[in-house]
Amino acid sequence: MPLLSSSRLFSDGPMALEAGGALPRLDMAYETWGELAPDGGNAVLICHGYTSNPHAAGWWPGLLGPGKAIDTARWFVVCANMLGSAYGSSGPPSIDSRSGRAYGPDFPDITLAEMAAAQERLLAHLGVRRLAAVIGYSFGGQLTLQWAASRPERVGAAVVVASGLRSSSGPDAVRALEQRFAACPGWNAGHYLDGGDGERAVRESLRALRLDTLRRYGVARHAQDQLADAAAAAARLDELASQWAGEFDANALIALRKANIRFDATPLLGAIRAPLLYVLSRSDVLYPPSIAPATMALLRDAGVDASYLEIDSEYGHFAPTANWRDWGGALGGFLARHG
């Protein structure tokens, strides 16, 4: 279970789960930037995407920092690796104290409500009393909606980026992942983390999956445009995919996808009190702008003070990172007005 060198680890006692039972120990990997105000009220929580990590300064370098849209000279910024993920927080690759080995496929089913509850424990440990804003990218956008609806008194503003009210996929996505990894030699019903041939086969499958994802999400096109050389762009993509495959976990992909497809923010919208900024990319195939009119109508019908911004970009799901200049000003202004 990799812990990024830039991350810290918060550990706490047992955490009860909605489906019954409990995690005997809760671990949350996290990173922070800026200083917390004496009243604990200048915090901004960033929620990362499905396969990402808590190093938000690495994947949003143009937006996060002193004087930038998410101004760390003003805000105390926290990004926590979500529960069930693979970058240090409790999840399938972490050790089950009862067996002494990785949970693997035995990691219990979790919900977005539990992900928010785990983050809340971390924030309490850090001294955060109120969130000036919650900002979420992709899967993190749904976690942002969970936060805004379940803790309306604690969230000053919400920013939902390249995301929607529910998952863009369904149960077939979970079955496809399960079948993909089951076909790997040495999968061992999901208990593959032994450093042997089984683990190598699964990580090669993860690498191939990541390459496909980078192509579909606009990262390949961005690399081609930046490097202006097809061979160099292909090498860069392979480097990114190989690094990720060596860090992530197949069971975490499955566990997070299960949680994601069960979530639907629609019945929760009436509880949201925070102003909300909704950001999509013109060319995103995962959350295309065609969903914006219905989403905005549902938000406004529920009484949410929602505004919409579309990034005019060819880089699809990657646009909020690649084209940060095109929406950073709007984000900074939104946080200054409402955070």
158-202 pLDDT, tens digit per residue, is 999 999 999 988 899 999 999 999 999 999 999 999 888 999 999
Which class is domain 171-256? mainly alpha
Query: Which of 232, 112, 119, 247 minimizes the C-alpha distance to 193?
Result: 247
Mean pLDDT in residue range 260-264: 96
Average pLDDT, stretch 265-276?
Answer: 98
Instruction: For 104-131, write each residue's pLDDT tens digit.
Output: 999 999 999 999 999 999 999 999 999 9
Interval 20-43 mean pLDDT:
96
Q: Could you tell me the fold of the domain covering 8-168+259-338?
A: Rossmann fold (3.40.50)
Q: What is the DSSP string of 109-160?
A: P--HHHHHHHHHHHHHHHT---EEEEEEETHHHHHHHHHHHH-TTTBS-EEE
Task: Count CB atoms within 10 A of the CB of residue 81.
Answer: 29
Cα(11)–Cα(157) distance, integer angstroms: 28
pLDDT recorded at residue 192: 96
How many angstroms from the chain centroid is the CA of residue 283? Answer: 20
Return the percentage of the chain with pLDDT > 70, whole number. Answer: 100
Residue 317 annotated in active site: yes
**Does residue 135 have a pLDDT over 90?**
yes
Q: Which residues of 277-305 are buried (b: 16+ CB within 10 A; e: fewer)?
A: bbbbbebbebbbeebbeebbeebeebebe
Catalytic residue among 138, 167, 205, 281: 138
Q: Which of 48, 55, 222, 317 is catalytic?
A: 317
* pLDDT grade for 263, boundaries at 50, 70 and 90: very high
| Mean pLDDT score of the chain | 96
C-alpha 170: how far from chain center: 18
Q: pLDDT at position 30, please? A: 98
- For 159, the token pair is 């920013």
What per-residue confidence (pLDDT) applies to 194?
A: 84
Percent of residues in the chain assigned helix, strand, coil, to nearest 5: 45, 20, 40
Task: Look up residue 175 and give its amino acid.
Answer: R
pLDDT at 73 over 70: yes
DSSP letter for 81, please.
P
pLDDT above 70 (res 1) = no
Output the pTM of the full model: 0.97
pLDDT score, position 105: 97
User: Per DSSP, which regions of 249-326 are E strands?
Assistant: 276-281, 306-311
**Active-site residue, selected from the candidate residues 94, 283, 284, 313:** 284
Mean pLDDT of 29-35: 98
Annotation marks residue 48 as catalytic: no
Is 138 among the catalytic positions? yes
Q: What is the pLDDT averaged over residues 307-318?
A: 98
What mean pLDDT is predicted for residues 257-275? 97
The pLDDT value given to residue 98: 86
The domain ranges of the chain are: 8-168+259-338, 171-256
Model pLDDT, residue 228:
86
Answer yes or no: is pLDDT of 235 > 90.
yes
> Does the pLDDT of residue 311 top 70, yes or no?
yes
As a whole number of angstroms, the distance between CA 106 and CA 120 comes to 25
Mean pLDDT calculated for residue range 248-255: 98
Three-state DSSP at 251 gives: helix
CB 110 within 8 A of CB 94: no
